[in-house]
Amino acid sequence: MPQIRVVRCPSCGSTDAASDESSSYADLSHMTCGSCEFDEYCDTWEVGFNWNVTIDLDVGAPLPLFLPPLAPGNGAHDKEPSPATRGPPTRAALGCTLCLNDNATVAWEASGQQEHGALIEESHFSVRVAGCACGTAFVQVFCERVDWGGGDDDQTWLRVPVSGAAEAGARAAIAARGDAGLSSLLSRMARHQRFLVRSDGQSWWRESGFTIPPHD
């Protein structure tokens, strides 16, 4: 039986999946699913392992609407490729028992151990890349609302784990367009990731709803 290479969503298995060229950057493809809306920024290696799959399909037969999703342990970062097929270097699988600890205070401390530089740096708004010792990168957003009357400024930090491809995508987007569209870009990156919030000296996890707070 003939075999073909198709794109399928690694999350739900839908074949209604493709690269959104309008929001891809440099060598990073913005892969999207039209069924479950899962999306992520991927390099060539990640697309090949996580989104592409070879199936048997008779000539003229319709493409199945759904295929088996990516099985745990079969992702691009779950196995070491052979030197002959290895693509561009990418960051290790996301997270460890410290930076993704259910105790948000522990996770906050671990995820900020390393500093990878600022993407945007303003008086009341910044986007920086922090990191855990395990190698996982975290995009950190700082927003401040100035209380001009009482002096009790509202300060909020958000920190979301990202893949190496997503981190590179953020850098490429800012290099190309400045901070225009950064909010929607980060929201897409974090759509399926829980993220850390810190305010008033307290840290906690949020499971969804990543948005950049208002700031001055």
In order along its 216 residues, the chain shows pLDDT tens digits of 788 999 999 888 888 999 888 776 666 788 888 888 788 778 788 888 889 999 898 888 888 888 888 876 665 555 444 433 333 333 335 678 888 888 999 999 999 998 888 878 887 888 888 888 888 888 898 888 876 665 566 788 889 887 766 666 666 666 665 565 566 667 666 666 788 989 888 999 988 777 776 665
57 and 151, same domain (yes or no): no
In a domain, 31, yes or no: yes
CA atoms of 159 and 173, how far apart (whole Å): 19
64: left (phi over 0), alpha (psi -120 to 50) or beta: beta
Output the pTM of the full model: 0.56
pLDDT of 91 reads 37
pLDDT of 88 reads 36
74 and 111, same domain (yes or no): no
Contacts of 169 (CB under 8 A, 6+ apart): 25, 26, 28, 30, 41, 185, 189
pLDDT of 6 reads 92
Helix or strand holding residue 110 (H, E): helix 104-111
In a domain, 211, yes or no: no
Whole domain around residue 56: which residue ranges? 1-86
114 and 61, same domain (yes or no): no
64 and 148, same domain (yes or no): no
**C-beta of residue 57 within 8 angstroms of C-beta of residue 41:** no
CA atoms of 110 and 117, how far apart (whole Å): 17
In a domain, 216, yes or no: no
